[in-house]
């Protein structure tokens, strides 16, 4: 599994929440979630209770969770790098492991000045929002995605910090004036090899769009396309950061080196995260 986030995958889709006309006790809720295979049923029950606007909504949310929808889609938000990120149905759920990409990006950014930050394949916009926050707001942020639902969601998440969100295929979405000016380019491209998609947990397979997951035959098709164009968009000394699985790190580093970048591979064993930092000479 390449993008594991849903630590609480319901194993069964057969269980149903209790009758909506009956009061829903916290114990009922935990029991329903546990019966559906949610490993952290108590935590989920607490989050559902805190988020629901009343008993009817709590019932409806529990029904969706028990039916196998990702918790973050049911809640409508995810915690990411200390931020609460809106997650719309059908939009890729930001994974905890990707917080490591953000940390690496912040560490590799120039220490001074107002930076040009770009987050390609932005999904909810979580990476850009977290990076800008980590840099104390010291940047002009642009995010882009091919999927209109992701673009809408990212616009909501970046509305407060002045981020610009563009729709389109990779770099074609960006304003031309950014060419040669990007200081930090993050791109958490889809990287699951096509043949592995059926092996993903149902929450990802059934509730996240396939283009958000499928990285082509070896999972690196999108990275190849980003690597081919990135140098023309980065400022001299600018960095491109991307995430892979551990076994893809070597071929991914090869792709970036062949495109002329100086590449560093870093891992966070706790988050099971691998990040490649590619610096333009």
Ligand X SMILES: C[S@@+](CC[C@H](N)C(=O)[O-])C[C@H]1O[C@@H](n2cnc3c(N)ncnc32)[C@H](O)[C@@H]1O
List of residues 6+ apart from 180 with CB closer than 8 A? 232, 233, 234, 235
In the complex, minimum distance from the CB of residue 148 to ligand X, in angstroms, rounded to a whole number:
9
Q: Give the sign of the dihedral formed by CA 171, CA 87, CA 246, CA 186.
A: positive
Among 123, 193, 219, 238, binds ligand X (CB under 6 A): 123
Nearer to ligand X, 127 or 178 (CB): 127
Among 74, 109, 122, 182, binds ligand X (CB under 6 A): 122
- How far apart CA 207 and CA 209 sit, in angstroms, is 7
Give the phi and the psi of residue 88 in degrees, each rounded to 5. -80, 155
b (16+ CB within 10 A) / e for 164-195: bbbeeebbebbeeebeeebbbbbbbbbbbbee
- Span interacting with ligand X, options 31-39, 62-70, 102-110, 124-132, rule CB under 6 A: 124-132
Among 68, 139, 190, 201, binds ligand X (CB under 6 A): 190
- Span interacting with ligand X, options 38-46, 118-126, 228-236, 244-252, rule CB under 6 A: 118-126
> 80-99 mask for ligand X (x: CB under 6 A)?
------------x-x---x-
In the complex, minimum distance from the CB of residue 221 to ligand X, in angstroms, rounded to a whole number:
10
In the complex, minimum distance from the CB of residue 170 to ligand X, in angstroms, rounded to a whole number:
4
Are 226 and 189 in contact by the 8 Å Cβ rule? The answer is yes
Nearer to ligand X, 17 or 94 (CB): 94
Nearer to ligand X, 17 or 163 (CB): 163
Give the phi and the psi of residue 57 in degrees, each rounded to 5. -70, -35
Based on the shown chain and the rule CB under 6 A, indicate whether residue 141 belongs to the binding site for ligand X.
no
User: What residues does 264 pair with on adjacent strands?
Assistant: 277
Cβ count within 10 A of residue 28:
15
> 151-170 mask for ligand X (x: CB under 6 A)?
------------------xx
> 3-class SS at 11?
coil
Nearer to ligand X, 32 or 124 (CB): 124
Are 208 and 184 in contact by the 8 Å Cβ rule? The answer is no
Contact residues for ligand X, defined by CB under 6 A? 92, 94, 98, 121-124, 126-127, 145-147, 150, 169-170, 188, 190, 211-212, 222
């Amino acid at each position: 599994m390449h993008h594991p986030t849903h630590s609480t995958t319901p194993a069964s889709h057969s269980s149903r929440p209790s009758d909506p006309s009956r009061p829903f006790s916290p114990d009922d809720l935990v029991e329903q979630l546990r019966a559906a295979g949610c490993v952290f049923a108590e935590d989920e029950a607490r989050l559902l209770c805190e988020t629901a606007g009343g008993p009817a909504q709590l019932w409806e949310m529990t029904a969706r969770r028990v039916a196998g929808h990702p918790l973050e889609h049911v809640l409508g938000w995810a915690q990411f790098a200390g931020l609460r990120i809106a997650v719309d149905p059908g939009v890729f759920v930001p994974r905890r492991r990707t917080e490591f990409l953000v940390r690496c990006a912040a560490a590799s950014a120039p220490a001074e000045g107002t930076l040009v930050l770009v987050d390609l394949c932005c999904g909810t916009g979580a990476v850009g929002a977290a990076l800008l926050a980590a840099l104390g707001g010291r940047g002009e942020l642009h995010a882009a995605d091919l999927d209109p639902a992701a673009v809408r969601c990212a616009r909501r998440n970046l509305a407060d910090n002045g981020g610009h969100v563009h729709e389109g295929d990779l770099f074609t979405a960006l304003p031309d004036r950014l060419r040669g000016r990007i200081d930090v380019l993050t791109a958490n491209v889809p990287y699951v090899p096509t043949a592995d998609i059926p092996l993903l947990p149902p929450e990802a397979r059934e509730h996240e769009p396939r283009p958000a997951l499928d990285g082509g035959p070896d999972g690196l098709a999108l990275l190849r396309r980003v690597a081919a164009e990135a140098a023309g968009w980065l400022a001299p000394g600018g960095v491109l950061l991307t995430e892979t699985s551990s076994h893809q790190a070597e071929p991914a580093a090869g792709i970036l080196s062949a495109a002329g970048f100086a590449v560093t591979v870093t891992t966070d064993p706790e988050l099971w995260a691998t990040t490649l930092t590619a610096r333009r000479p």
